[in-house]
Chain A
Amino acid sequence: MDSSFDTIVIGGGLVGAAIACGIAERDRSVAVVDGGDRDFRASRGNFGLVWVQGKGADFAPYAHWSGMAARRWPEFAQALQDNTGVDVGLQQTGGYDFCLTQQEWDAREHEMRRVQAHTHGQFTYQMLDNAELKARIPQVSDTVLGASYSPLDGHVNPLYLLRALHHRMQNLGCRYIPDQPVVSTRQEHGHFVLDCAGQRYQCERVIFCAGLANQRLARDLGMNVPVEPLRGQLLITERVAQFLPCATLQVRQTMEGTLQIGDSHEDVGLDDSTTLEVITRLAARAVSIFPHLSSVRLNRAWGALRVMTPDGLPLYHQSPDYPGAYAISCHSGVTLAALHAAEIANWICGDAPHELITEFSAARFDV
């Protein structure tokens, strides 16, 4: 079995798979070494949003980066379907974030204005009151104050996206090696050596896309990747007659007709279990926004751990001491997928980086 490659991507989630596809388009010898079937795997807990509104209110480059990513999505989805036959279900008709209190409304409006300023008007939004909201989504409750709306937002099926990326990887000749969690990495005679569960791999370039494991793993090659878990719980319902024509931050309707209801932000360490308190709270919120959902049955509830950097922004880092070693982390693996498969992959292949990439280096965490 071949164990020597030009490039090894550690981690086969949304980030690793997208980057692997991008590199494999240019370079034949790529392998993705992945962890186990029951590992934490943030990609399986993703809500599926292609989301721009609110991003980068405190950091202009992120606003630009997210906008760029969202605008690339239609072409990216089409290419994936043409290449693999998998329809990731992109619906990009705009997104709503509901405001249930005046305080929420005021804070949101403030946030939207800042993003708009950062992007010099490229980011657009509307603040809609209850009447305007009901004109677009009649099932919204009278008690909802309103919502922020941004036309560039949307959603996909995140699991189908992962599947499509894996398919594309295979079509491009990438080797996918599951169940091989990396134990340690080192440099030896000018290449990188990865010690996994019982196997050893070798490469010229190594990309750490291992989610929460990045912190421990990337340290072997002198990189400081501070990531912490942040739990989000999600609810999925039975199939319901289609009524939601677009994505919202609280409830989205999948192409199968099921409803996905989210989400929470809990600092509980490496614990992806569900809690009764959050499940009932999410259900109550969904019903308060859409009262007709009261009779809809819950099918499954689960928790997943987001991979969060201290400032919540992506991390695109090239090791200063070990050329050829990179670390990539973000919690928006869906929104940014197209850029990971293009700009990030190209940068890793040696092209001059897009000017925005350097804004997200890990150097910002070195005090």
Chain B
Amino acid sequence: MFRLIDNTDPELVEIEFDGTTVAVPAGISLAAVIFYLDAMPARKTILSGSPRAPFCMMGACFECLLEIDGIENQRACQVEVKAGMKVTRQLTVSGGEAT
């Protein structure tokens, strides 16, 4: 959905995203990573499984929640990507969360 602007050649880092190793630009937020990878939908709501993705990118809307290194419900837009991170989208309705 989003690409790097022309004439940008950033350092890349490797992370694990939904079990697959990918290379993404260093220094960006995980919400930016979601758009870079076009990982849509980024999340499904607990209540109804409604598909969502980051909306405000500034930490206010809580739509960008991701599981990062085993901890759920973190705002991806507030976390900078680091090499070796293990990132998983929260796409299941039941299971880990209550209904």
A and B touch in the complex (CB under 8 A): yes
Interface of A toward B, CB cutoff 8 Å:
238-242, 253, 256-257, 295, 297
A-B contact pairs, 17 of them (CB 8 A): A238-B73, A239-B46, A239-B97, A239-B98, A240-B98, A241-B96, A241-B97, A241-B98, A242-B98, A253-B98, A256-B98, A257-B46, A257-B97, A257-B98, A257-B99, A295-B71, A297-B73
- Chain A residues with CB under 8 Å of B97's CB are 239, 241, 257
Identify the 5 closest CB pairs spanning chains A and B, nearest first: A257-B98, A242-B98, A239-B98, A241-B98, A239-B97
- What's the Cα separation between A295 and B71 when bound, in Å? 8
State the main secondary structure of chain B at its contact with A: loop
- What's the Cα separation between A14 and B65 when bound, in Å? 36
User: Smallest Cβ distance from A245 to chain B, in angstroms?
Assistant: 13
Interface of B toward A, CB cutoff 8 Å:
46, 71, 73, 96-99
- Chain A residues with CB under 8 Å of B73's CB are 238, 297
- What's the Cα separation between A297 and B46 when bound, in Å? 16
- What's the Cα separation between A238 and B98 when bound, in Å? 11
- What's the Cα separation between A238 and B65 when bound, in Å? 13
- Chain B residues with CB under 8 Å of A241's CB are 96-98
What residue in chain A is nearest B74 (Cβ atoms)? Answer: A297
- What's the Cα separation between A239 and B71 when bound, in Å? 14
Not counting A257-B97, A257-B99, a sample of 15 additional A-B residue pairs whose C-beta atoms are within 8 angstroms of each other reads: A238-B73, A239-B46, A239-B97, A239-B98, A240-B98, A241-B96, A241-B97, A241-B98, A242-B98, A253-B98, A256-B98, A257-B46, A257-B98, A295-B71, A297-B73
What residue in chain A is nearest B47 (Cβ atoms)? Answer: A256
What residue in chain A is nearest B96 (Cβ atoms)? Answer: A241
What residue in chain B is nearest A296 (Cβ atoms)? Answer: B73
User: Smallest Cβ distance from B84 to chain A, in angstroms?
Assistant: 21
- Chain A residues with CB under 8 Å of B46's CB are 239, 257
- Chain B residues with CB under 8 Å of A297's CB are 73
What residue in chain A is nearest B71 (Cβ atoms)? Answer: A295
- What's the Cα separation between A297 and B71 when bound, in Å? 11
- Chain A CB within 10 A, most for which of B71, B73, B96, B98: B98
User: Smallest Cβ distance from A354 to chain B, in angstroms?
Assistant: 40
- Chain B residues with CB under 8 Å of A295's CB are 71
User: Smallest Cβ distance from B60 to chain A, in angstroms?
Assistant: 15
- What's the Cα separation between A27 and B10 when bound, in Å? 76
User: Smallest Cβ distance from A125 to chain B, in angstroms?
Assistant: 29
- What's the Cα separation between A4 and B65 when bound, in Å? 54
What residue in chain A is nearest B95 (Cβ atoms)? Answer: A241
- What's the Cα separation between A295 and B96 when bound, in Å? 14
- What's the Cα separation between A241 and B72 when bound, in Å? 12
- Chain B residues with CB under 8 Å of A239's CB are 46, 97-98
User: Smallest Cβ distance from B65 to chain A, in angstroms?
Assistant: 10
- Chain A residues with CB under 8 Å of B71's CB are 295
- What's the Cα separation between A240 and B72 when bound, in Å? 11
- Chain A residues with CB under 8 Å of B96's CB are 241
- Chain B residues with CB under 8 Å of A253's CB are 98
- Chain A residues with CB under 8 Å of B98's CB are 239-242, 253, 256-257
- Chain B residues with CB under 8 Å of A238's CB are 73
What residue in chain A is nearest B94 (Cβ atoms)? Answer: A241
